[in-house]
Chain A
Amino acid sequence: MLEKIKSLREKAIQELKALADSNSLEEWKRTYLGKKGLVTQLLRQIGSLPPEERPKAGEAANLLRDELTQLYEEKASAIKEAERLQAAKAQAIDVTLPGRRPQIGALHPVTQTLREIIEIFSRMGFGVYEGPEVEWDEYNFGLLNIPPEHPARDMWDTLYIAPPYGKDGNMLLRTHTSPDQIRVMELTKPPIRVVVPGRCYRHEATDASHEWMFYQVEGLAVDKGITMAHLKGVLTTFVREMFGKERKVRFRCDYFPFVEPGADMAMDCIVCGGKGCRVCKFTGWLEILGAGMVHPQVLRNVGIDPNIYTGFAFGMGVERIAMLKHKIDDIRYFYANDLRFLKQFRA
């Protein structure tokens, strides 16, 4: 009997080894371990053996059954794994193919830069105002302490509105956002903290760094106790938020008729780090904006008492900020609207 068990075992194991798919594995299971399987039959024959042989043969047959059952399970999981791999192989794709990207456009870089500027100033408590692009000469110049024939008018080459609407140069395209200082102060009372984004226009030939239409952001703060130290604080913060914490700034005296004292702010060149290069014209500094304390005459012009209130104002060119940020070397790209340019600013 033991001989028989032994040979049955060898046969079963040999057959199992050769199996490669789940169907033949089930066939094998039926052949040996099924209800009418060879091992099952063997177990049934135990009872008919002489009593002295029974314990040994029974033990061996049971062992055989357990062993084959275990081998079956091992084999079954191996085959399952192999079959799964095969199926995956059949469905494999080239994962390096480009994905299906949703088609999304982009904001114009000037819009992006404007948003960033406004966001930085709004964190410092500044609201927003927008004024007209077609302006009275009185607002663009007169109320800003630049009366007609003032020599400082040469600082802004102006586009005037023709008759019948403009009469003797009384209406123009604003040359800067500064007239909105007047409009804001006419509209609201101190405390004032506001930035004014908007398009401006100059009668100017276009080249790599000049454009006749451009955006400015004006800033104005009027309150009791506003000083030049606050001006430096706000603008230094702006530069560092916009261009990095490590930026150095320089304030120097400059002249604008509507501020006194006047200033302009430069930051160390972001290209060369202040060593001197073509971008900073070998000075190490990049001029960013003009600023100053609101001229007492301007405050008087809008009925704010300069003995009680002080304020500061500043104005910056948005394209220049965008150009420095993105290393754009020609301002003319902005209004050429070439999608090959615009698509580079998918931010």
Chain B
Amino acid sequence: MKVPLSWLKDYVEIKLPPEQLAYKLTMAGFEVAEIHRVGELWDRDKVFVGQIVEVKPHPNADRLTIAVVDYGASEPVEVVTGAPNIKVGQSGQKVALALAGARLVDPYAPQKTYFTLKPTKIRGVLSPGMVCSEKELDLSDEHETVIILPDDAPVGMPLADYLGDIILDIEVPTNRPDCLSILGIAREVAALTDAEFHPPIIDYPEEGPEAKELVEVEIADPDLCSRYTAAVVLGVEIKPSPYLVQRRLRAAGMRPINNVVDATNYVMLELGQPIHAFDYDKIRGRKIIVRRAREDRTFTTLDGITRSLLPDTLLIADAEGPVAIAGVMGGMESEVTDKTKNVLIESANFNRVSIRRTSRLLGLRTEASLRFEKGLDPYLPPEGGKRTAQLIKEWAGGTIAKGLVEVHTPLPPRRTITFHLSELERFIGISYPKEQISSILGKLGFELKEEEPQTYTVTVPTHRGDVTEPADLVEEVARIAGYDLIPTEMIPAPSSPQIFPELLKWEEAAKDVLVACGLYEVKTYALISQELLDQFGLSYPLPLLSVANPMTPEHVFLRPTLLPSLLRTLAYNLRFQDGVKIFELARVYLPRENDLPQERMTLAIAMAGEAEELSWFGSSRRLDFFDLKGVVEELVERMGISNYQFIPADERTFFPGQTAWLKVGEDTIGILGKLNPDIAEAFEVEEEVFMAEFNFEALASHASSRREFKPVSRYPAVVQDIAVVVDEEIPAEEVRKVIMEAGKPFIRSAVLFDLYRGKPVPPGKKSLAYSLTFQADDRTLTDKEVTKLRERVIRELERKLGATLRG
């Protein structure tokens, strides 16, 4: 809402400098986004209100004239002008005169450029100044004609004093449609600065016939229109509005049209009540019917666009058909034009939900719909209609018909709230003096009746539909008094411990382990594209969750897996570096019928490229399956899980033979392995990619921070190495298990330290070398005992796995 201070001053005295006023409004909930100064550049000794004494022809050019302008100095100046509204022979017009040295806007520059006016010879005649257009004075883009000021503009007054203004651009909160008006803001200013509030006085003679003889109004759908008033002004003369009215409209962000339309816009800006003016003679059957569109399918609005209607769209119709889309926009047929003689003024209250739906469906948001959809004061329409009639008569002449034609449903009773003053302290933490409370509420239009010493019955003004209960009154007092007054106090500790999700602890712990393992955490979008899903070729039992109104095809589906997003992130980063190791811990969305989806916390890891960062000591090695597996082992064990195993997996997303399921106990937690190279290729990755995805909730369900202490043996350990040759197919884990079983009770560990294929090991076989550690808790093992165990290990390996001792 753009609020010119010059306009605001009509209703409230402005006691503060603009910055301080803006600050007060901002603090009270009306954020002033910008303070715009009109005429900031107009030097007081160079730009004046002038009056044309005489207009002479230019000796060398037909299109130019020489205007003799009095600006209060001893001698008038003679300036050359090409303005079509300054004609030879005219005199007396008031104009905006700029003299040499004035800073003006260059009207011909493509972007706003300022220049300093210099005395110039125009077609042989020296012009020491100029008569200005709005554009040159930075008032608007108007440059066809020069400004003609009102007749009572004081000659010689610096223009800055006459037309200069300050405009506050105020962000009005949604719950305060009453403040989408100058009057509403004035009421706030009055309360904030303890000033008097003077609403306009609506008073005029009604000289015409009875309005109800001229038009009949029917509300066919009272659920969508609670009140409709019609006023009629006969015999108007359509012409531009007075200059200062045009200026106010422009300053408030609206374009002047003609005196009648301007009057409707002026009243909307002034009171906040949208008004529509019809050409009375275009209303067929002298009848207004407020009804749903029903069979009417299309309607042409006054912007010339034919719009399709829904049966529920609220229309204003006459005896034969629609004349306006109620509360949104009027129709082309009944629009006020230059030829209009008689005007019908509509001031009504429409159902906010209906207007909001219509305006959304049509994609048409107007100043009127913007106000109606927020819910307006049902008591305001008669005032709006009368005020418009008054202004039309003032600006366009004519006679006002007697009375308003008015139809309304029963008006809502005035709301009252029982307000215990102790509520203020209960919400805010401090008490306010009684006088301050009643003064603030009074200034805002609330009526107070003291029932008991600390209890008021508060009658809410009808324009404050947002105030329904004591908490609302608390805000009114607190915000006008200022939140700065509220003390800053520490909250007392809660009397019982507060909740904390167990899962979140494990998420954070897991992230720390993965970071320590050299991985970077990424966060990718939860919505993915069909294309991304297709590239992974995944299928799911239920249709995926998707967004009904996606912004782009890129973000449509709620992802059931993190892998595609993570692979894309990996691919992106491989363009800039040789090795990438990343993870994401985020939710995937699994649909459920007739319920919200399951949001499962999922961990995904991706790595590819160089295993180590480039260094002077390092070696070059590509990441492989065991880099990924090592990270997973570290994570699982750090989460206190020991009963886990890796089982060879065959899944088409992955590369067979280099993929495993992670199982904990009986639960399959997820998968890890080399990504199917075809998928990697689809993402333009030539490297081998290793990825994992785990159901993190399942993993965390096995996690524990408890570790069972085992005493450290005080007796020496004996280390013995063995190397065995087994068939290629036998998994190393099998060999290790046999060793650990056979080595009981004194074997402590069997660490694989060499894996060898090739001569002299026969083809189809491999050699595995283990370092075995034996130890007892209560004594030093004898050589004999260790040798016996070692032999048993070898025997068992032979018996169970067909292994032979090497070398």
Q: Is the CB of A227 within 8 A of B426?
A: yes
Q: Is the CB of B175 within 8 A of A229?
A: no
From A107, A234, A236, give the contact of B511 (CB < 8 A). A107
Q: Does B500 reach chain A (CB closer than 8 Å)?
A: yes
Q: Is the CB of B488 within 8 A of A199?
A: no
Q: Is the CB of A205 within 8 A of B551?
A: yes
A197 to B426: give the CA distance in the assembly, Å.
29
Q: Does A260 reach chain B (CB closer than 8 Å)?
A: yes
Q: A132-B599, A159-B549 are in contact. Are A110 and B523 (CB under 8 A)?
A: yes
Q: How far is the CB of A166 from chain B (nearest CB, A)?
A: 6
| Chain B residues within 8 Å of A187, by CB | 499
| Chain B residues within 8 Å of A263, by CB | 483
Q: Is the CB of B573 within 8 A of A339?
A: yes
| Chain A residues within 8 Å of B236, by CB | none
Q: How far is the CB of B658 from chain A (nearest CB, A)?
A: 23
Q: Does A111 reach chain B (CB closer than 8 Å)?
A: yes
Q: Is the CB of B547 within 8 A of A229?
A: no
Q: Does A241 reach chain B (CB closer than 8 Å)?
A: no
A297 to B617: give the CA distance in the assembly, Å.
67
A75 to B495: give the CA distance in the assembly, Å.
80
Q: Does A270 reach chain B (CB closer than 8 Å)?
A: no
Q: Which of B176, B374, B491 has the most CB of A within 10 A?
A: B491
Closest to A293 in B: B427
From A191, A212, A233, A342, give the contact of B522 (CB < 8 A). A342
| Chain B residues within 8 Å of A261, by CB | 427-428, 471, 474-475, 478-479
| Chain B residues within 8 Å of A176, by CB | none
Q: Is the CB of A221 within 8 A of B573?
A: no
A-B contact count (CB 8 A): 260
Q: A159-B550, A161-B547, A191-B495 are in contact. Are A232 and B471 (CB under 8 A)?
A: no
| Chain A residues within 8 Å of B40, by CB | none
Q: Is the CB of A251 within 8 A of B501?
A: no
A290 to B472: give the CA distance in the assembly, Å.
17
| Chain B residues within 8 Å of A262, by CB | 29, 475
What is the 8 Å Cβ interface bit string for chain B, positions 101-125, against chain A (1 contact, 0 not)? 0000000000000000000000000
What is the 8 Å Cβ interface bit string for chain B, positions 474-510, against chain A (1 contact, 0 not)? 1100110001101111111111111111011000100
Interface-side segment among A37-45, A59-67, A146-154 = A146-154
Q: Is the CB of A125 within 8 A of B526?
A: no
Q: Is the CB of A257 within 8 A of B616?
A: no
Q: Is the CB of A108 within 8 A of B514?
A: no
Q: Does B54 reach chain A (CB closer than 8 Å)?
A: no
Interface-side segment among A12-20, A23-31, A50-58, A98-106 = A98-106
Q: A160-B547, A229-B428 are in contact. Are A127 and B498 (CB under 8 A)?
A: yes
A213 to B353: give the CA distance in the assembly, Å.
29
| Chain B residues within 8 Å of A105, by CB | 514-521, 581
A77 to B474: give the CA distance in the assembly, Å.
91
| Chain B residues within 8 Å of A297, by CB | 469
Q: Is the CB of A98 within 8 A of B173?
A: no
Q: Does B546 reach chain A (CB closer than 8 Å)?
A: yes
| Chain B residues within 8 Å of A233, by CB | 488-491
Q: How far is the CB of A256 from chain B (nearest CB, A)?
A: 9
| Chain B residues within 8 Å of A335, by CB | 523-525
Q: How far is the CB of A209 from chain B (nearest CB, A)?
A: 15
| Chain B residues within 8 Å of A111, by CB | 511, 521, 523
Q: Is the CB of B523 within 8 A of A229?
A: no
From B547, B580, B597, give the contact of A159 (CB < 8 A). B547
Q: Is the CB of A134 within 8 A of B597?
A: yes
Q: Does B138 reach chain A (CB closer than 8 Å)?
A: no
What is the 8 Å Cβ interface bit string for chain A, positions 167-192, against chain B (1 contact, 0 not)? 00101010000000000100110011
From A135, A162, A221, give the contact of B547 (CB < 8 A). A162
A315 to B316: give the CA distance in the assembly, Å.
44
Q: Is the CB of A228 within 8 A of B478?
A: yes
A340 to B577: give the CA distance in the assembly, Å.
9
Q: A97-B616, A107-B515 are in contact. Are A228 and B427 (CB under 8 A)?
A: yes
Q: Does B555 reach chain A (CB closer than 8 Å)?
A: yes
Q: Is the CB of B572 within 8 A of A338?
A: yes
Closest to A112 in B: B521
Q: Is the CB of A337 within 8 A of B522?
A: yes
Q: Is the CB of B501 within 8 A of A130?
A: yes
A334 to B523: give the CA distance in the assembly, Å.
8
Q: Is the CB of B526 within 8 A of A108?
A: no
Q: A152-B174, A161-B547, A230-B429 are in contact. Are A134 and B558 (CB under 8 A)?
A: yes
| Chain B residues within 8 Å of A340, by CB | 576
Q: A151-B352, A293-B427 are in contact. Are A160 and B549 (CB under 8 A)?
A: yes
Q: Is the CB of A128 within 8 A of B504?
A: yes
A103 to B516: give the CA distance in the assembly, Å.
8
| Chain A residues within 8 Å of B546, by CB | 161-162
Q: Is the CB of A100 within 8 A of B617?
A: yes
What is the 8 Å Cβ interface bit string for chain B, positions 401-439, against chain A (1 contact, 0 not)? 000000000000000000000000111111000000000
Chain B positions 548-591 with a Cβ under 8 Å from a chain A Cβ: 548-551, 555, 558, 569, 572-573, 576-577, 580-582, 587, 589, 591
Closest to B515 in A: A105
Main DSSP-derived SS at the B contact region: loop
| Chain A residues within 8 Å of B599, by CB | 132-134
Q: Is the CB of B469 within 8 A of A296?
A: yes
| Chain B residues within 8 Å of A255, by CB | 29, 173-176
Q: Is the CB of A227 within 8 A of B551?
A: no
Q: Does A343 reach chain B (CB closer than 8 Å)?
A: yes
Q: Is the CB of B515 within 8 A of A162?
A: no
| Chain B residues within 8 Å of A149, by CB | 352-353, 356-357
Q: A108-B523, A128-B501, A134-B589 are in contact. Are A252 and B576 (CB under 8 A)?
A: no
A212 to B489: give the CA distance in the assembly, Å.
36
Q: Is the CB of B545 within 8 A of A253?
A: no
Q: A111-B511, A339-B576 are in contact. Are A227 and B526 (CB under 8 A)?
A: no
What is the 8 Å Cβ interface bit string for chain B, positions 427-462, against chain A (1 contact, 0 not)? 111100000000000000000000000000000000
Q: Is the CB of B175 within 8 A of A257?
A: yes
What is the 8 Å Cβ interface bit string for chain A, positions 274-313, against chain B (1 contact, 0 not)? 0000000000000000000101110000000010001000
A138 to B514: give the CA distance in the assembly, Å.
38
Q: Is the CB of B499 within 8 A of A252?
A: no
A203 to B489: give the CA distance in the assembly, Å.
38
Q: How far is the CB of B683 from chain A (nearest CB, A)?
A: 14
| Chain A residues within 8 Å of B782, by CB | none
Q: Is the CB of B521 within 8 A of A254?
A: no
Q: How far is the CB of B315 from chain A (nearest CB, A)?
A: 19
Q: Is the CB of B471 within 8 A of A252?
A: no
| Chain B residues within 8 Å of A106, by CB | 515, 520-521
Q: Is the CB of B548 within 8 A of A162?
A: yes
From B475, B521, B596, give the contact of A171 (CB < 8 A). B596
| Chain A residues within 8 Å of B29, by CB | 252-255, 262
| Chain A residues within 8 Å of B425, by CB | 227
Given contacts A105-B519, A124-B490, 5 further A-B contacts (CB under 8 A): A105-B521, A127-B500, A201-B527, A229-B430, A253-B479
Q: List 19 A-B contacts (CB under 8 A).
A: A105-B517, A132-B596, A136-B596, A151-B175, A173-B526, A201-B527, A223-B494, A230-B429, A230-B490, A251-B484, A252-B26, A254-B173, A255-B176, A261-B475, A262-B475, A296-B469, A339-B573, A339-B576, A342-B521
B interface residues (Cβ-Cβ under 8 A, vs A): 26-29, 31, 173-176, 352-353, 356-357, 373-375, 425-430, 469-472, 474-475, 478-479, 483-484, 486-501, 503-504, 508, 511, 514-527, 543, 545-551, 555, 558, 569, 572-573, 576-577, 580-582, 587, 589, 591, 593, 596-597, 599, 612-613, 615-617
6 nearest A-B pairs in the assembled complex, by CB-CB distance: A127-B498, A229-B429, A227-B429, A261-B475, A253-B29, A255-B173
A interface residues (Cβ-Cβ under 8 A, vs B): 97-98, 100, 102-108, 110-111, 115, 124-130, 132-136, 149, 151-152, 154-155, 159-166, 169, 171, 173, 184, 187-188, 191-194, 199, 201, 203-205, 212-213, 221, 223, 225-230, 232-234, 236-237, 250-255, 257, 260-263, 293, 295-297, 306, 310, 334-335, 337-340, 342-343
